[in-house]
Structure 1
Amino acid sequence: MTIQCIVKSIEPLASNTYRILLHPETPVAFKAGQYLTVVMGEKDKRPFSIASSPCRHQGELELHIGAAEHNAYAIEVVDIMQKSLDDGSKVNIEAPHGDAWIREDSDRPLLLIAGGTGFSYVRSILDHCIAQNNSKNIYLYWGARDECQLYAIEELNDIASNHSNIHFIPVVEQADSSWQGKTGNVLAAIDEDFDLLDDYDIYIAGRFEMAGAAREQFTQSKGAKSEQMFADAYAFI
């Protein structure tokens, strides 16, 4: 279903990363963890996770778009959004898409894994769980190149401080001397922290190769069950 949207705002979150708020002319019913596509052309529809949660998005859809200089695919979308914001024109989206939405009927604890702006996917799930007063243990691992890319770190630390069931573990590849958290690869950090993952529902967003490596690594060495692992990437790899 194609829906016209007004671009409400664009703001930088980190270097080359932007928060974009869209107001759709027709309300979009979606599940936490689904995505939309930005229609660039008849055969050019580009997917982005919906960062807002379905229970309190107030009619607006939030996107986090990483548009580094080498990523023309995303830069072109940000440029279209900026043009629409400037001249009042509308952008077209199609939504909702994706089967990697949260399984609310499950009683298992959650392991949320994000690489870079894949955080937008797990943010929707986390916020939905908080709004629903979900008491299950939730472990959120967010991997990034450096601390500057962890644009919501203060918000997440506050959430973890105020909810005893929520555990936030940031992981950076390149750390300076002031960094107090984990360093290296986010999947390696999880491998180190968990003996078994058979009792977890695992939700993953990031590069396809990361999602593929997580499924292979965790099912083989940590007892994770592939039917309890969810990622949009799994529809394609």
Structure 2
Amino acid sequence: MADLKGVSQVRVEPAGKSFSVEAGQSVLEAGLKAGITLKHSCRDGQCGECRTTIVSGLVDYAEGLQDKLIDSDREGCTGLMCQARPLGDLVIDAPEVTELEGISIQKFPVRVMSKQILSDDVVVLRLAPAPGVEFRCMPGQYIDLQMRDGNTRSYSMAATDDSGQIELHIRKMPGGVVSGFIYDELKEKAILTAEGPFGTFYIRDGDAPIILTASGTGFAPIKAIVEQLIRDGNTRPVHLYWGGRRLENLYHHQRCLDWAAELPWLTYIPVLSDEEGIWGGRTGFVHQAVVDDFPDLSSHEVYVCGAPIVVSSARRDFVDKCNLDLNNFHSDAFV
């Protein structure tokens, strides 16, 4: 790794904004600190969502990250901005910055206003920011939620209402310290700490047909996006695929059926992986159902949220098999 010294300047086009990156900082870290939201999701190099076109300049990475890079990263045409360290001044192409202007990351206390157990492993929390906190976000983004013992986890927001309350869908993970505590022990009225919003998983302006794909509680940001589309009077065709092992894993199945019945532009396709012979609907992997239904995705926008294997498999197959433009693939991987 090259010796990084001094301060580099990063210019963001087409917004024409600039920010400084200190030695040892990643481009994403410095941008967020400066109030400039570059595209990102996991923030640790696993999901690839922060991959951005480099117009000019060079970046370097810490040792051990080579397996996260693709050919265009190695050639210097693109970079994983959550891990990339500039080797001098840099110009990047990041059109999402304009769309997220005015949304800033902040840290603030929240009170647990309600806790609802939806299934044997899913709980819904509604959180109220402290008085005086004005929390702005795009539907589809996520927050970091910190417990009183300091343990922190990231959770996508399923909704933010007019009162400013935040809705989270949290799955109790086997052996999960934080999710287990939230599901089993967290009480209403408890005070936690939230930080955000993070992520660039939001609907882009345009008229292309939309494919929404979720696995498990990856439905949370998808719910926020659908509700935004409803509020905005959407007319773009939307296909919503939601996958789970069993029907009870689709904890808002009836809500999705109601949407499909009420909204002429929305089609709902539930997909179960462990119900063959019992379930009368689609079975298998949720992303494979999309491949089967849409062998040509060249004119679509796709939004995928769920486990890393779901996101990576969808990205690979949608691009390689279905001709999806990688620029039209947007994801939020739970890592």
Counterpart position of 1:209: 309
In structure 1, the gaps of 5 or more residues are none
Matched, 1:123 2:223: yes
Higher relative contact order (CA 8 A, sep 6+): 1
Counterpart position of 2:290: 190
Counterpart position of 1:34: 141
**Structure 2 counterpart SS, 1:212:** helix
Structure number, greater radius of gyration: 2
Matched, 1:147 2:247: yes
Alpha-carbon contact 1:156-1:168 (below 8 Å) kept: yes
Matched, 1:97 2:185: no
**Displacement, 1:12?**
1.1
**Displacement, 1:73?**
4.1
After superposing the two structures, state which structure 1 stretch, 171-180 or 220-229, moved more: 171-180
Alpha-carbon contact 1:15-1:149 (below 8 Å) kept: no
TM-score w.r.t. the length of structure 2 is 0.64
State the one-letter code of the partner of 2:167: E
**Structure 2 counterpart SS, 1:19:** strand
**Structure 1 counterpart SS, 2:118:** strand
The number of residues matched between the two structures is: 228
- Separation (CA, whole Å) in 2 of partners of 1:91 and 1:79: 16
Q: Which of structure 1's runs of 4+ aligned residues deviate more than 6 A?
A: none
**Displacement, 1:71?**
2.9
**Displacement, 1:200?**
1.2
- Separation (CA, whole Å) in 2 of partners of 1:176 and 1:219: 28
Change in Cα spacing, 1:226 to 1:42, as seen in structure 2 (3 Å) is farther
**Structure 1 counterpart SS, 2:175:** coil
Counterpart position of 1:74: 179
TM-score w.r.t. the length of structure 1 is 0.89
Alpha-carbon contact 1:17-1:68 (below 8 Å) kept: no
Give the percent of matched residue pairs that are identical in Structure 1 and Structure 2: 28
- Separation (CA, whole Å) in 1 of partners of 2:263 and 2:179: 34
**Displacement, 1:27?**
2.7
Change in Cα spacing, 1:98 to 1:162, as seen in structure 2 (3 Å) is same
Quote the RMSD (CA, aligned, Å). Answer: 2.0
Counterpart position of 1:46: 153
- Separation (CA, whole Å) in 1 of partners of 2:333 and 2:251: 23
Residues 46-65 of structure 1: pairs in structure 2 closer than 5 A: 46-52=153-159, 56-65=161-170
Structure whose residues are more often helix by fraction: 1
Alpha-carbon contact 2:276-2:283 (below 8 Å) kept: no
Counterpart position of 2:235: 135
